[in-house]
Structure 1
Amino acid sequence: MSLVENQVVSNQLQNTVVGKTIVKVVANQNPHTFVWFATEPQYAFAAAEVSHKQAEQYEALLTGKVIENSEVHFGSYSTYNFLYVGDRALMFSLPTRYYAPGEKPPKRHQLYLVFDDGSSLALCGSLGGAVYLFRVDENGLAADYPPPDTPSVLSDEFSESFFLDLIKNTDLAKLKPAKTVKCFLATNNRIPGLDNSILHEILWEVQVNPKSDMAALGEAEYKRLYAAIKKVFPAVIAAGGLDTGKDIFGNPGTYATQVSRNTLGKPCGRCGAPIIKEPHLGGAVYYCPKCQPILKVKRSGF
C-alpha cells in the first residue's frame, strides 16, 4: 500500500472504528503463504507454520479491547496502518474494508473484527502483506524494524534540500535494476510510500517520463519533481484517494488521474495525445508520449 492509501484508510478508520469495542475476532480464516501474522517482532515474516500459530493468539489478545487510535507509520520495507488496541498495536498492510451494521461481510478474509455496535472491519490480502500485533513500547509505538532514513513526504523534514541531497548522494550510474526516474523514485523504499500509481501523476505534472534516465534530468527538473511530490500527495489524500483505487467503504477516490488505466488511450489532458501503457521494471508505466518524452542523454544536474 502507498502512503496515500494508508493515510486515506487511517483517516476513515479514525472516524469509523476508533472508540469501538471488539467483540469477535477471526484470524487467518483463509491461510495465505504471503500473509504474515506475528505477536512479537522476532516472528515477523516467519515460515507459514509459525505465522499460522501466531494467528491463533489474535482472538485472545484483541477480544474485549477498545480501538484507541489510528495512525500511519513507516517501516524499513513499507508504510503501515496502525490501530492501537490496549497494550498492542495492530500493524497491517492489507486492503481494508469497513462494514456498517447489517452489511454482509466478505466470505474470504485474513482478519475480521466485529464491533459492539454490529459494524465490522475486514483485512483481505489476496496479494499478501503483514498483519502484526506487536506490543506498544514506552514511546507508544509498536516494535517494528529500524525506521527508514527518509522522512515522510508529508513532513517538513522532507524539504527541497533534503530531496536534492538524496539525489546527489545516490550514484545514479549504478542504480539497479535500471537508472530510470521510476527506479529512483518508486523502488527500494527510497521514498517511503511513493508507489507506482501516484508516481504517474507526479511525473505527468512535471512532464517527465518514468523511463527517462534520472541522470538525464537537471537541477531545475529535480526541483520541479520535488514541488510536484509536495503538491500531489496532499491533493490525493484530500480527495480520498485516486479514482483507480477504493476506500474502506468500497468507493473510488475522487482524484481524477491523468495517466492510469482509466485514461489509457484517451487524450492527454494537456496536449491531446493518447495516453499509452508500456512494461517497465516488471510492471507497467502510463504516460503521454508527446509531452513526456523519454530522455536518455546523460548529463549532471549539479
Structure 2
Amino acid sequence: MIELPEAATLARQLSAAFTGRTVASATAGQTPHGFAFYNREAAEFGPLLTGGAVGRAAAYGGVVEVPVGAFRLVLNDGARLRRLAPGTPRPPRHQLLVEFDDGAALACTVQMYAGIALVEDGDDVGPYVRAARDAPSPLTAAFTLDHLRGLVAQAPARASVKELLATKQRIPGLGNGCLHDIAFYAGLHPRRRIETLAPRDLVHLHATLLAVLRRMTDDGGRDTERDLHGEPGRYPTTLSARTQGLPCPRCGSAITKQTFLGGTIYFCVRCQPLP
C-alpha cells in the first residue's frame, strides 16, 4: 500500500520518467475490480487524458498527483504503478493504462483497494485527499512537537498509540505499514493508551517519527513495497510480516504478531512493554 515514503518516491520517479511527455492514449477499467474507486465513468478517462502534456508529480501524505493537461490524475492506497519501457508487453489485466508519445506506458493495477481520480481545479477531491494536502507533513518542519501534542489532545484519552498514529487520517500517509518501526524505535507498544504517555514519551515519539519516516523516504520506501520500476524499497523493515517470529534486533525476543483495530500489529514484548 502507498504510504508517505512510497508516495514521495513514486512522485519523484514519475516526474523523472514522464514530465514533458504527451499522452497518446489511455484506458481505464479494462479489468473490473470491485474496490477500484473511480471518480467518474471509466470510459471518460481515455478522451480526457489523451493529448495532455504531463507535468511534475507531487505527493501529499499517501496520495500521488500527476498533472496531465487540464487535469490531475490522483492515485492512492493500493494503486500499484509501473513504468513499462517502449516495446515491453503490456499487462493483460489493469485498472488504468496510459500510453505516451515515446512508446513508454504507465500501468496501474489495484491491490486490495485504491482511489483513481481525474480532477480539475475546483473539483471536490474528497476528505481523504483534502486531509493529505492540508495537514503538516512529517517530512517538513511544519510537523512540530506542538502539532503532535495537539493530535494527542484531540484524540480520545483511551486511544492507543496505533489509533493515534495510523487511523482517522490524523497523520496522512502514516498507516499500518510505517507504524510498526516508529512504535518500535520509540519503545511504545501499539496497544498502549496515549493517556499513559509522559511528556518525555511524546518528545521521543515525535523525534522517532520524523527520523524513521525520513529514512524510509530517503531509502526509496520500505522493502515490503515496490517502486515505479518494480524494485523493492531499500529501507529494511524491522517489524513487518517478513520479520515475524525472528529475534528482536535489540533484545533477541521473538517478534510477535497480533490482530488489533482491524489489522495486524508487530511488536517486541520486551522492548515495547505495556504499562
Using structure 2 for the length normalisation, give the TM-score: 0.92
**1:25-174 matches, cutoff 5 A:** 25-38=26-39, 51=40, 54-73=41-60, 79-93=62-76, 94-137=79-122, 143-145=124-126, 147-148=130-131, 150-173=135-158
| Gapped regions of structure 1 (runs ≥ 5) | 39-50, 174-178, 296-302
1:204 aligns with 2:205: no
2-side partners of 1:83 and 1:143: how far apart? 16
| Gapped regions of structure 2 (runs ≥ 5) | none
SS in 1 for 2:264: strand
Shift of 1:201: 0.8
1-side partners of 2:26 and 2:84: how far apart? 15
SS in 2 for 1:151: coil
2-side partners of 1:126 and 1:170: how far apart? 30
2:19–2:54 Cα contact (<8 Å) kept? yes
Shift of 1:29: 0.2
**1:183-262 matches, cutoff 5 A:** 183-262=163-242
2:15 corresponds in structure 1 to 14
Tell me the number of residue pairs that the alignment of Structure 1 and Structure 2 aligns: 268
2-side partners of 1:152 and 1:31: how far apart? 34
SS in 1 for 2:66: strand
Point out 4+ residue stretches in structure 1 off by more than 3 angstroms: none
Shift of 1:145: 3.2
2:51–2:69 Cα contact (<8 Å) kept? no
2:257–2:266 Cα contact (<8 Å) kept? yes
Shift of 1:168: 2.2
Equivalent residue letter for 1:124: T
Equivalent residue letter for 1:11: R
C-alpha distance after superposition, 1:109-137 (max 9, x if no partner): 11101111111111111312211111135
1-side partners of 2:156 and 2:256: how far apart? 30
Equivalent residue letter for 2:9: V
Shift of 1:143: 4.6
1:180–1:210 Cα contact (<8 Å) kept? yes
2:15–2:55 Cα contact (<8 Å) kept? no
C-alpha distance after superposition, 1:61-114 (max 9, x if no partner): 11121111201136xxxx321110111111111121111122222221111011
2-side partners of 1:266 and 1:37: how far apart? 40
SS in 2 for 1:72: strand
1-side partners of 2:260 and 2:91: how far apart? 34
Shift of 1:34: 2.2
Equivalent residue letter for 1:110: Q
1:164–1:223 Cα contact (<8 Å) kept? no
Equivalent residue letter for 1:261: A
1-side partners of 2:56 and 2:164: how far apart? 34
Cα RMSD over matched residues? 1.6
1:292 aligns with 2:275: no
C-alpha distance after superposition, 1:197-228 (max 9, x if no partner): 11101111111111111212211111111101
Equivalent residue letter for 2:226: K
Query: Which entry has the higher C-alpha Rg, 1 or 2?
Result: 1
% same residue: 33
